[in-house]
Structure 1
Amino acid sequence: MMSTVTVKNVTIGDGIPKICVPIVANTKEEILADALDIVNSRADIVEWRVDWFESALDIEKVKDVLEQLSSVLNQIPLLFTLRTAREGGKIDLSSEAYLEINQAAVATGRVDLIDVEVLDKETIATKMIESAHAAGVKVVGSNHQFDRTPSQEEMVDRLRRIQELGADICKIAVMPQNETDVIRLLEATSIMHQKYAEKPLVTMSMAKLGVVSRITGEIFGSALTFGTVKKASAPGQIESETLYQILQDIHKVL
């Protein structure tokens, strides 16, 4: 039986997929301005993509933004994501720095969820998951493939491994080269959801080709989808108001 994950007043893994809106801005002022816009949008969760922040390696400045950002968001859960260049992010940093910044973030008490790139360095990931859980923070275990779509078996294996390592939510994002790649991602999601998932899944096929994967989560088993209010954090994301309406319409006919 798959469990759900509740952060603040949002339950992930139940009913209509929840909408996560990313903040991808360079300065503290821009980050907080974007947050004010998002508060009045359809966002269920806000993701701060810390790798876009001009002072991402300065822990004190990251903590300062976190304090103010969480106040602006109030009851909207905050997902802290330091996406590395290896997985499509804006920053290249050592494993030690990755661990240190993430651990400092969860220790602030201002973060509800944290993204951990689970499969890159499993030892670091395990430490990060332990730190997050000790602080009462939920973990989105993630894996990104920006150049291709792996086989269905490999995607299911990756999701199962992320789950085994202790993530609360298991995420995979892949890049399609054709329509068949998109179908393969949906098939992997469905198989994982039906056979192996004990935790909520988040899956997506990126770019315009993969848009269908961002709106059919309720059918195939993906519990969270990413929409935009301003700038997208990955190719293929849909404007949040449009995304909300599509998800509602699909739910009505199911």
Structure 2
Amino acid sequence: MKLQSKKKVIVKNKVFGGSKMLICLPLISKNKEMLIKDAKEICLLAPDIIEWRVDFFETIHDINNIKDALIELSKSIDNIPLIFTLRHSDEGGCIYLTQDKRIEIIEKSINTGCVDLLDIEIANDMEFLNKIKNIIKRNDIKLILSYHNFKQTPSEEFMLNKIIEGEKIGADISKIAVMPKDYGDVLKLLNATYKARNIVDIPLITIAMGKTGAITRMIGGLFGSDMTFAVGKESSAAGQMPISDIKMVLNILSNSRTASNNRQRKEDLDE
């Protein structure tokens, strides 16, 4: 049975922290025409969530173009919740932007009313994060505070504290993504997730990246992770798997649990 969070985050009928691990497909399109085309294609794969990685956009300095693209994207994906991510260059973002420029793009994009969740790095200073929180509050959208480490897997204690820090700062969802060197690192990530699930109340997203960490994208929900990333059109991070494979594994796990529960009920009745 998937571990559930005490607090649920519900966005357009999708439940973060519930009985199902949600599947998110990223969009890393370089221009508006590609963005809309790619969005229509991945919608056919029926993801639970879509993430737009805006830092891949070639005309990122043209805020009006971003806003126009966002409005069209929102129409194309209809009722699928949208995560807006303008990733910092220090944590995998494709372009360097000043913090003032990031705030400007984020605020004007959110003001369109087309964003459901914003993913922002917990490593930003508190002045920046407080500005983000004010924008979030004014627009009544959900905040994902995230930590990324593309070089290694920190200690279990460090990862656990990062998840806790996200909740303390005001995240609706706390996220960590790390790079394992071996399966011992994968176990550290899963154990930190399991411990966090029993400490924090909010939903979690935890991922071990790369081929070694791919298993966490399939079974993370059993330890308390509430969303995984898959490949629809193109991958936005190392280790992402095709959505069809993720769905197949999640269905197997779900059916296995159902069969086990049915057997247990039968045994109880027989007694």
TM class by shorter chain equals over 0.9
Check the 8 A contact 1:80/1:111 in 2, yes or no.
yes
Separation in 1, partners of 2:130, 2:172: 13
Separation in 1, partners of 2:165, 2:102: 21
Check the 8 A contact 2:221/2:227 in 1, yes or no.
no
Separation in 2, partners of 1:56, 1:36: 21
Separation in 2, partners of 1:129, 1:253: 41
Letter in 2 for 1:125: L
Separation in 1, partners of 2:164, 2:203: 12
Partner of 2:81: 77
2:202 to 199, 202, 206: 199
Partner of 1:58: 62
Letter in 2 for 1:66: L
Partner of 1:147: 151
Letter in 2 for 1:95: Q
Q: Deviations over 1:67-125 (max 9, x none)?
A: 00000001001110001210011011111111111111111101011111122323201
Q: TM-score, structure 1 length as denominator?
A: 0.97
User: Is 1:10 aligned with 2:36?
Assistant: no
Partner of 2:267: none
Partner of 2:265: none
Q: Deviations over 1:137-166 (max 9, x none)?
A: 111111100111100000011111111111
Q: Deviations over 1:17-53 (max 9, x none)?
A: 0000000111111110010011111310100000001
Q: Deviations over 1:177-220 (max 9, x none)?
A: 111111100010000001x2211000000000001111112210
Partner of 2:237: 234
How many Å apart are 1:126 and its aligned residue?
A: 2.2
Identify unmatched segments of 5+ residues in structure 2: 258-271
Partner of 2:220: 217
Percentage of identical aligned residues:
38
User: Is 1:123 aligned with 2:127?
Assistant: yes
Partner of 2:32: 28
Check the 8 A contact 2:83/2:118 in 1, yes or no.
yes
Note the aligned Cα RMSD (angstroms): 1.1
How many Å apart are 1:15 and its aligned residue?
A: 1.1
1:19 to 23, 44, 48: 23
Separation in 2, partners of 1:149, 1:127: 30
Check the 8 A contact 2:180/2:186 in 1, yes or no.
yes
Q: How many residues align?
A: 253
Check the 8 A contact 1:218/1:251 in 2, yes or no.
no
How many Å apart are 1:57 and its aligned residue?
A: 2.2
Letter in 2 for 1:147: K
Partner of 1:186: 190
Separation in 2, partners of 1:239, 1:89: 22
Identify unmatched segments of 5+ residues in structure 1: none
Partner of 2:263: none
Partner of 2:91: 87
Separation in 1, partners of 2:157, 2:17: 23
Provide the secondary structure at the position in 1 that maps to 2:215. Answer: helix
Q: TM-score, structure 2 length as denominator?
A: 0.91
Dislocated runs of 4+, deviation >3 Å: none
Provide the secondary structure at the position in 1 that maps to 2:212. Answer: helix
